[in-house]
Amino acid sequence: MSDQTRITPIRIAICEDQRLMRESLRVVCEQEPDMQVIAEAGDGLQAIQIAEAFSPDIMLMDIKMPHMNGVQATASITTRFPSMKILILTTFDDDDLVFEAIAAGAQGYLLKDVPAEEFLATIRLIVMGESIIQPRIATRMLMRYGKEGHLSPTSKSPATELSTQAGQDELSDKEIEILRLLAQGASNRDIANAMILSLGTIKNYVSAILLKLHAANRTHAAKIARERGFL
């Protein structure tokens, strides 16, 4: 694979009413070669407008915004553009807001104090089609459903989905194959060449593996994989 291979960037829209936070998110994202911020919004109504005008791959959506909040904007956007990905970012660790955001169609929910590495990995993972909820939030959601006790055994609630995604953290066959190569010391480019995939795709897979295993780095991921019997 040629060194001249270009990475198609993830096209990101930031929807946040605080200008300083918008600028911070933009700086973090644009430091990554596979990410590009294409639009910004300061309220929910503007978020809907930029979704229509720019068709981003993913929207970073604050919950508490003027004119229309992030949950309402998410519901409108996912209804009109079902394939558009939305990651909710908020300082509000509020169970009800989590329920509303997921019900509105958001694919992920993170608190704004999350480390940058986890934030970036979550963006890549959601764009790949995964759904991500921070474990501490997912655990409380599961506990809440259990306490309410009104769901039938066959009903498929958001908590059921989360128990698979955040609880089991299962790796796909391809992710395990990549993890084996990582454990052997292969670089992302080595893996891309071996699997005949683009460098950007491998980078996304590695980010997903680190996030699923809650690993700090590649070496830590290989250690966890051996302990769990993946290798």
Q: Same domain for 137 and 209?
A: no
Digit-coded pLDDT (tens) for 120-159: 988 998 998 887 776 666 655 555 555 444 433 333 334 3
Q: Same domain for 97 and 27?
A: yes
* pLDDT for the residue 95: 65
Q: Same domain for 95 and 67?
A: yes
Any domain includes 4: no
* pLDDT for the residue 139: 58
**Residues ≥6 apart with Cβ < 8 Å to 210:** 117, 121, 216, 217, 218, 221
Any domain includes 3: no
Q: Same domain for 116 and 206?
A: no
111: domain range? Answer: 10-168
* pLDDT for the residue 159: 38
How many angstroms separate the CA atoms of 211 and 119, rounded? 10
**CA 192 to the chain's CA centroid:** 22
Residue 67 CA: distances (Å) to CA of 11, 25, 82, 87, 148: 25, 22, 23, 20, 33
- Angle of helix 199-213 versus helix 218-228 axis, rounded to 10: 60
> What residue type is 60 in one-letter code?
L
Q: Same domain for 124 and 221?
A: no
Handedness of CA 56, 51, 80, 58 (dihedral sign): positive
- Would you state the structure tokens that stand for residue 61, as one six-digit string? 């959506």
pLDDT in tens, the chain (231 residues): 444 445 789 999 999 999 999 999 999 999 999 999 999 999 999 999 999 999 999 999 999 898 899 999 999 999 999 899 999 998 876 667 777 887 788 988 888 888 888 899 889 989 988 877 766 666 555 555 554 444 333 333 343 343 334 333 577 888 889 999 988 888 888 998 998 887 777 877 887 787 777 776 788 888 888 888 877
* pLDDT for the residue 59: 98
Any domain includes 5: no
Residue 127 CA: distances (Å) to CA of 2, 87, 91, 194, 231: 25, 10, 23, 23, 27
- Domain containing 136 — which CATH number? 3.40.50.2300
Any domain includes 74: yes
**C-alpha angle 186-226-204 in degrees, rounded to nearest 5:** 45
Torsion of CA 30, 217, 8, 28, to 10 degrees: -10
